[in-house]
Amino acid sequence: MGKTLFRKIWDRHRVHEEPGKPVLLYIDLHLIHEVTSPQAFEALRKAGRRVRRPERTYATMDHNVPTDPRPIKIQDANSARQIEVLAANCKAFGIQLFDLDSPHQGIVHVIGPELGLTQPGMTIVCGDSHTATHGALGALAFGIGTSEVEHVLATQCLWQRQPKTMQIRVDGQLPAGVSAKDLILYVIGQIGVSGATGCVIEYAGDTIRALSMEERMTVCNMSIEAGGRAGMIAPDQVTFLLLRGRPHAPLGAAFERAVRDWETLASDPDAEFDQRVAFRAGEIAPQVSWGTNPGMVTSISERVPDPATIQDSVARRSTELALQYMDLRPGMRLQGLAIDRVFIGSCTNSRLSDLEIAARYVAGHKVAAGVRAMVVPGSRQVKAEAEKRGLDKIFREAGFEWRESGCSMCLGMNPDILQPGERCASTSNRNFEGRQGRLGRTHLVSPAMAAAAAIAGHFVDVREWPH
Amino acid sequence: MSANGHTELLTMQPFRQLTAIAVPLDRANVDTDQIIPKQFLKNVLRSGLGKGLFFDWRYLPDGDPNPEFVLNRPEYRGAGILLARENFGCGSSREHAPWALKDFGIQALIAPSFADIFYNNCLQNGMLPISLPGAEVDRLFQVVSAAPGTQLSINLEKQHVSTPHGETFAFELDAYQKQCLLEGWDSIALTLRHEDEIAAFEARG
Ligand code: SF4
């Protein structure tokens, strides 16, 4: 029987195993940031342990950094302290850091592929649940907690039970105005926020194959929102093209050798998955989340659910609470619903192509009166490239704020937050209660939907929107 | 720490048995942003996070405790077990979530299912997440809600949860993880015992 992409990578990284125990898995690449690493270094120090392979760990500052023009002095004392501690830890243990002054700084999941650190066939971990993003390049990448960050620093390995596998197949052509973000929101809406718990997802089918590298990252990024341990896509020419010439990718003949190896990673035709689901791209419409988790999502042309029609008491209660929090009426339409804020950014949708698409909807228009809209590029490189193409001008002229890179209002650990009761069209990945600011209301959408909402002042169906 | 024998592996408090008040949190898909909101992640220490636990639910916007939130009810004061609904701990990988629960006094959780990273993070901290079938969790919600302050007993060795009336529910747990909890092993120390194999793996390149 053939092997899956996941299984091939898993098998290549087994260091030790015995019956009844988890496998000791080797980790090729470890990414760290300021929020989930300080306690790991502290514990290492206490135990008198060293970092086993400092050259396999890279650090950046992204979660709590203000997005004001650089250089910045961080006002919040605790955030400033986390930034200082990360810098000191990287220095003490010999880890390369992309700090706020580095032209390579950015959201950890944006800079990994951008720098060519992320490569097919690798095992990659990070103390962050959206690590699955890197799986878009055909790597096995998953989020870990701080104790495991410490474990990887000390041993370059992790104990892992072999997860189950799930294939999510999407075939057919995405309708005009429907993006990778809509695709993944739709899938999560279908399988639910715990639909892939315990599983590594492989996305397959001709819709997935036709996606650009950046679109594939958007899809894999949200695997955790379906409960998935990781999400991955077999590497192909699109992947190799992205990697060629990146600073940390192999060079010359070594690159060609690597490609020959990477070509063998795709799941064998007769490989079996523990679970399979399939969808038709043609049935997907632009999505908007209406509730307080990413599975509470509907297409722009449909209505939000009515709890009265839900049989299961736990599900009914969840729906009631979500509608109440979001201040929505049962059965209402989201099209036409007024918004206060727009956030274009996050590791889901802050890459160059996301900004280009949003700019197309914005060009020549003005942000609606009363709406505050911001664009936060995923990395300094994305920002520089976007500026080279004049995107910053388009956004600024329309009335958008054009900011420095970081996680920003995706999680509101920096000053970019929603005020209580504000409603936001956001290209990020989580609409949890208070995620973007206490009592703030988040609607997850694609960059096109967010841009059009900023101009209209309310949600619109981008399929009917001139751009 | 002693450098010889097994004592070097003992860094976590072992978990064997627990009899404690169970507090019922009747919501599905409770995410880690609710368990510990972002403002409490700006710490460089892992201690003292209990004050931020369920902050937005526990406190009203003016800072007063929300009398309606179950953790604030006096009957549940000193709870050591959290009873929850499906997919508990979904969302972010923040280990601050189990740290906050532990600091608050929660040592074990019972729910129909947990999110993977959260589940793992609990075990890393010597806490026991127990998955039981939905109907059994329903029954425990009934028992505990009918008489707030009811204590449940957990026996890890025998792998069961019991009510004061003698109802018993068996749970499953990975044998290796059970051993780690019972012994309070430090997983890094366990891994470092395989250093030769790690070096050999690296040499193969
Ligand atoms: S952008 Fe948001 S989801 Fe992505 S790493 Fe930052 S905080 Fe996490």
Q: Which of A107, A108, A124, A379 most suits a substitution to test ligand 1, by most atoms within 8 Å of the C-beta? A: A107
Contact B95 A39 (CB under 8 A): yes
Q: How many Å lie between the alpha carbon of A153 and the closest alpha carbon of chain B?
A: 10
Buried b (16+ CB within 10 A) or exposed e, B61-83: eeeeeeeeebbbeeebeebbbbb
CA distance linking residue A443 with residue A371, whole number of Å: 15
Q: Would you give per-residue pLDDT tens digits along chain A (467 residues)?
A: 899 999 999 999 999 999 988 999 999 999 999 999 999 999 999 999 999 999 999 999 999 999 999 988 999 999 999 999 999 999 999 999 999 999 999 999 999 999 999 999 999 999 999 999 999 999 999 999 999 999 999 999 999 999 999 999 999 999 999 999 999 999 999 999 999 999 999 999 999 999 999 999 999 999 999 999 999 999 999 999 999 999 999 999 999 999 999 999 999 999 999 999 999 999 999 999 999 999 999 999 999 999 999 999 999 999 999 999 999 999 999 999 999 999 999 999 999 999 999 999 999 999 999 999 999 999 999 999 999 999 999 999 999 999 999 999 999 999 999 999 999 999 999 999 999 999 999 999 999 999 999 999 999 999 998 76
Residue-wise pLDDT tens digits, B32-86? 999 999 999 998 988 899 999 999 999 999 999 999 999 999 999 999 999 999 9
Contact B42 A433 (CB under 8 A): no
Look at ligand 1, atom 6, and give the residue with the nearest C-alpha. Answer: A407
B191–A contact, CB cutoff 8 A: yes
**Residue B1 clears pLDDT 70, i.e. is over it:** no
From ligand 1's centre to the CA of A347, what distance in Å?
6
Contact B95 A145 (CB under 8 A): yes
Sheet with B151-155, side-by-side order of all strands: B128-131, B108-111, B81-83, B17-24, B151-155, B160-162, B168-170
CB-nearest partner of A318 from B29, B90, B187: B29
**Residue B5 clears pLDDT 50, i.e. is over it:** no
User: Which pLDDT belongs to residue A1?
Assistant: 85
Neighboring chain A residues of B86 at a CB cutoff of 8 Å: 194, 314
Residue-wise pLDDT tens digits, B11-40? 678 999 999 999 999 999 999 999 999 999
Contact B43 A78 (CB under 8 A): yes
Residue-wise pLDDT tens digits, B148-169? 999 999 999 999 999 999 999 9
Q: How many Å lie between the alpha carbon of A20 and the closest alpha carbon of chain B?
A: 7
Q: Write the CA distances from A20 to A36, A197, A327, B171, B189, integer angstroms.
A: 30, 21, 50, 18, 19
Mean pLDDT for B115-135 is 97
Neighboring chain B residues of A438 at a CB cutoff of 8 Å: 37, 56, 61
Express as a percent the part of chain B with pLDDT over 70.
95
A173–B contact, CB cutoff 8 A: no
Q: Residue A136 has which token pair?
A: 């878009």
Neighboring chain B residues of A47 at a CB cutoff of 8 Å: 1, 188
CA distance linking residue B199 with residue B190, whole number of Å: 15
Contact B42 A64 (CB under 8 A): yes
What is the signed CA dihedral for B53, A61, A100, B34, rounded to 10 degrees? -30
Q: State the alpha helices, DSSP H only, in A13-121.
A: 38-47, 77-93, 108-114
**Ligand 1 contact, A182 CB (< 6 A):** no
Where do the domains of chain B lie? 17-204
Residue-wise pLDDT tens digits, B103-118? 999 999 999 999 999 9
Q: How many Å lie between the alpha carbon of A67 and the closest alpha carbon of chain B?
A: 17
**Ligand 1 contact, A111 CB (< 6 A):** no
- For residues A120 and A264, the answer to whether their CB atoms sit within 8 Å is no
Residue-wise pLDDT tens digits, A32-52? 999 999 999 999 999 999 999
Question: What letter does residue A207 receive in the DSSP assignment?
Answer: H
Chain B residue with Cα closest to A23: B191
**Residue B6 clears pLDDT 60, i.e. is over it:** no
CB-nearest partner of B41 from A76, A157, A413: A413
User: Which pLDDT belongs to residue B3?
Assistant: 35
A406–B contact, CB cutoff 8 A: no
Contact residues, B window 1-60, toward A, CB-based 8 Å cutoff: 1, 26-29, 31, 33-34, 37-39, 41-46, 56
Q: Residue A76 has which token pair?
A: 């919040």
- For residues B132 and B140, the answer to whether their CB atoms sit within 8 Å is yes
User: Which pLDDT belongs to residue B4?
Assistant: 33
Neighboring chain A residues of B142 at a CB cutoff of 8 Å: none
- For residues A328 and A307, the answer to whether their CB atoms sit within 8 Å is no
Classify domain B17-204 at the CATH superfamily level: Aconitase, domain 4 (3.20.19.10)
